[in-house]
Amino acid sequence: MWMEKVGCDVILEAIGGSLHAHRVILAACSDYFRCMFTSGMRECRQTHVTLPSLLASELEALINCSYSGALPLSWSCVFEITSTALQLQHQPALHLCLEFMQREINPYFCLDVASFAEAYALAELLDVSHDYVLRQFQNVASTSKFKDLPAAQLLRYLHSHSLCVSSELVVFKAVVAWIQAKPKKRIELTKELMKTIHFPLMTYKEFKEVQSLKMWSDHGLEELYEVIFEDFCGNEAGPQSQYRTYLPKESLVVIGGDQTLDDLGSRRISRELWFANSIRQHTGIRKATEWRRLVEMPDQGRFRHEVAVLKGELYVFGGKKYYGTYDTLNSVYRYDPLQNSWNILPEMQEKRCSFSTVVLDGKIYAIGGHCDPNNIESVERYCPFANTWSYTTPLDLPLSAHAANILHGQIFVSGGLNDGFQCLASMFVYHPQTGSTYLANMVNCRAQHRMEVLGGRIYVAGGITMGESQAPLDLLACESYDPMADCWTVFSSLPVPHVGAGSAVLEGKFYLLGGYSQEDYSDTPIIHRYDPATQRWENTGKTPGPNNDIRVSVLSLPPHLRL
């Protein structure tokens, strides 16, 4: 009707044209028009309403959104349309504009988003844009817009513990590029800016680039360079505790597991939760993870259990409480990090260890597992709304020590041990209503491994495989699955075994924590992180204590815990 101007009862006059519309539609979407047409203002009796400060093209986009609920957006127009939506208090359009900027933010436009958000007091958008700049600093610093950044804002970024950089050389190059963009005005800020760089953390090769800079002699900064050089050289005799602290927005949390005690002759099952508060960048590529104790589980410790996160809360399921034959659990607990409280939930219908859990459509699935003496083929589903468990279609075979994850709204399950405790290379999609659909096999059969989703692909790492004599062997080879091509590709191998490890994805990287070697039973108290961008694993420190058959999740924790 609007396109054909049928029943339109108002004409809006804007810069560059006039637009027909229905008052009731405008009032339903815009607080500005609702007030205009319902509060006795003179415009409520006029057939023509003049809006002298608005462009007809921007107004047309909002009127079209009022009827269709859609808004064609691009970076060339989103700021203008958002401004108009704010002026007219058009909530549907404003929601779409803010959603676009948060979803499509990139290194080139993030500083524009930050400036716009600050100008219009859009607190949430401002936080998103600042967070993006800090965590994509190297890419942002390479753009031309970075050189126009106000000095005060640059200093705030450089002092932030959320600044994510691969080395101090990245920070140094960004500072130099900013200064050299307007040297006459900015050279006086050099000393203050250089204080934000941890020169002792540079390698000799990196510091050579600092030395080669002509800026030191060209602008009379020889004395400042001497101070920087002394600071760098002081690293040789100085304490090894110097580092740059990076605070991820969310935290890796280690739940339960077991560990070898200091006497190396006994083990302890953990009921503790630990969180990674920060990652510390030491000299060169050396990193360490700072762990803090979060809380204890309300009951006994457990290992070979499972965890899931739903609506910001942590769920802990099953596992084993000891090393005996009849120590498998079916208990379930939920932890609220904001309230720092535990709730006891209904028990699973079967006791399970060495199983998998996934979250799909607001429900949690417990898949397969083991309960002495047999593996389990059943799958059960927990509904938080009803607070109940129910069975879904079982697996095709009893399965334990497998891995499961969600991609494109489907449950993928890889590897594991069958009822004869043989390693499998299988990969299948599990449908709760209809069962399993098998896909291409992995390159290697494997069990007790980890599987995570990154960038539309599935990554598999760690675990064991079977040798020619059917004896279990450590598996260092890693592979990733492309669901579009239904094929596997080998990627960088692990440097050490990670059998029975924990894993999670944080900020687009695959973290693999702890585990052990099946071949010599030595612990691997190391955290390895795989970055798809660099296609390599890097060591980011050690596990907090619990190390074997641990589980890991990612949680948003209250700010007071992160200080």
Candidate CATH numbers 3.40.50.720, 3.30.710.10, 3.40.1160.10, 3.20.20.370; the one for domain 2-104: 3.30.710.10
Q: Is 377 exposed, middle or buried (0-12, 13-18, 19+ CB in 10 A)?
A: middle
Inter-residue contact 107 to 136 (CB < 8 Å): yes
For 396, the 3-state DSSP assignment is: coil
CA dihedral 544, 549, 555, 558 (to 10 degrees): -40
Count CB neighbours of 144 within 10 A. Answer: 9
**In degrees, to the nearest 5, what angle opens at C-alpha 11 toward C-alphas 6 and 15?**
135
Q: In what order do the strands lie in the sheet with 388-392?
A: 356-360, 363-371, 374-383, 388-392
The rounded average pLDDT for each run of 10 residues, N- to C-terminus, in the chain (563 residues) is 72 86 87 84 78 86 89 94 93 96 97 96 96 96 96 96 93 96 93 94 93 84 90 63 87 94 80 96 90 95 97 97 92 97 97 98 98 96 98 97 98 96 96 97 97 97 89 96 97 97 97 95 95 94 95 96 82
Q: Which two tokens stand for residue 268?
A: 């302890």
Query: DSSP letters along 182-248, please?
Result: SHHHHGGGHHHHHTTS-GGGS-HHHHHHHHT-THHHHTT-HHHHHHHHHHHHTTTTS-TT--EEE--
Inter-residue contact 357 to 364 (CB < 8 Å): yes
**At which residue do the structure tokens 């996160």 appear?**
309
**In degrees, to the nearest 5, what angle opens at C-alpha 519 toward C-alphas 515 and 523?**
30
CA distance between the termini of the chain? 58
Sorted by where each begins, the domain ranges of the chain are: 2-104, 149-244, 251-561
pLDDT at 241: 47
CA distances from 93 to 114, 118, 201, 404 (A): 20, 19, 48, 39
E runs forming strands in 396-468: 403-407, 410-414, 427-431, 435-438, 450-454, 457-461, 464-466
**At which residue do the structure tokens 């898949």 appear?**
367
For 173, the 3-state DSSP assignment is: helix
CATH numeric code, 251-561: 2.120.10.80
Inter-residue contact 362 to 384 (CB < 8 Å): yes
State whether CATH 1.25.40.420 applies to domain 149-244.
Answer: yes
For 509, the 3-state DSSP assignment is: strand
